[in-house]
Amino acid sequence: MNTNYFFALTLPDETKEYIYDMTEEIRSEFPFKKWLHKDDYHITLAFLGNAPEEMRKKSMELVKGSLSNEGPFSLSLHRISTFGERHNPRILWAGVTGEERLFDIQKKVYQECLQAGFSLDKKPFKPHITIARKYIGERTFDIEELQVKAGRDSIGQHSFTVSEVSLYQSHFGASPSYEPIFTIRLQ
């Protein structure tokens, strides 16, 4: 069976709970085909796709070595936004601020995955936490209305410390869908 793998920042449980609680307020008024399980919240650093075992092992070794001198760092939730058509988005996400270290770590992970032989997405890195996929509401989607209902000002009041990068495996059709199979502690 095909499965996908990706390296991502692992979010603390209290941050996952904070995002989930915030979305409880908006789910009924802004229906999406799939709301992610709170254990699936993460920030993707490098998407590997259906990765052969040899390349996966090599990437794990290289990424672990590259991050050996990296310590934990702080981020703050910033805003809720979307990807896709403005009135019919395909992704609802939460953004983060304080991300200079995040960009440094993403570059290291990305480079090591290239070194391991992966072909990676060349689009610029846009750090985000996917919350839901594929808007299915009958009325036109309005991001400003959603931001007000979700507490536009309060989302930025949540800060958290990132201390782990994990290699995740996707389990299509399961909930939660993503399983961390290798974790690197930032020390």
Ordered structural domains, the chain, with CATH: 5-185 (3.90.1140.10)
Q: How far apart, in whole angstroms, are the C-alpha atoms of residue 65 and residue 46? A: 16
Residue 147 has pLDDT above 90, yes or no: no
3-state helix vs strand vs coil in the chain, percent to 5: 30, 35, 35
Question: Two tokens at 34?
Answer: 């799939």
Please state the length of the chain. Answer: 187
Residue 63 has what pLDDT? 98
Question: Two tokens at 80?
Answer: 């809720």
Percent of the chain at pLDDT > 70 equals 96
DSSP state of 141: P
Q: What is the pTM of this model?
A: 0.94
Which of 78, 128, 158, 171 does the annotation list as catalytic? 128
Place of tokens 């930032």: 186
Residue 128 annotated to the active site:
yes
Is residue 127 helix, strand or coil? coil
pLDDT tens by residue, 78-106:
889 999 999 999 999 999 987 799 999 99
